[in-house]
Amino acid sequence: DGGITQSPKYLFRKEGQNVTLSCEQNLNHDAMYWYRQDPGQGLRLIYYSQIVNDFQKGDIAEGYSVSREKKESFPLTVTSAQKNPTAFYLCASSIGGDSYEQYFGPGTRLTVT
């Protein structure tokens, strides 16, 4: 079955620690995205990548970093510089080109205390 996987579902970290969230897709999609979702707000774009070895900052990239070394994988690191990291993080992918429908993974809920 093709899809997007994110692990773990729940993640707890202490303040000051970096943490990496996993996102893997076997849909053969070119484009991948990271969003965060906070209560009462729309999804906000953190980073996106349209092709391997290339990525761009979204609206709220500060305190985050990504890599895209393989087509299937787009891990997100939440660094200690991110002032308010507790949130629900969603990874998505799309075919690319003229297709913009995004397919989402199940999400990772990160809690930093």
Partner 1 sequence: GQNIDQPTEMTATEGAIVQINCTYQTSGFNGLFWYQQHAGEAPTFLSYNVLDGLEEKGRFSSFLSRSKGYSYLLLKELQMKDSASYLCAVLDSNYQLIWGAGTKLIIKP
Q: Of the two residues 16 and 42, which places its CB atom closer to partner 1 in the complex?
A: 42
74 interacts with partner 1 by CB under 8 A: no
Burial tier of 10 (Cβ tally within 10 Å: 0-12, 13-18, 19+): exposed
Classify the C-alpha dihedral 80-82-84-86 as positive or negative: negative
Half-sphere exposure of 24 (CA within 13 A, CB side): 6
41 interacts with partner 1 by CB under 8 A: yes
The binder of partner 1 chosen from 25, 49, 102, 108 (CB under 8 A): 102
Minimal distance, residue 105 CB to partner 1, in Å: 6
13 interacts with partner 1 by CB under 8 A: no
97 interacts with partner 1 by CB under 8 A: no
> Cα separations (Å) of 75 from 13, 57, 107?
17, 14, 13
Q: Which residues bind partner 1 (CB under 8 A)?
A: 4, 35, 40-45, 48, 58, 88, 90, 100-107, 109
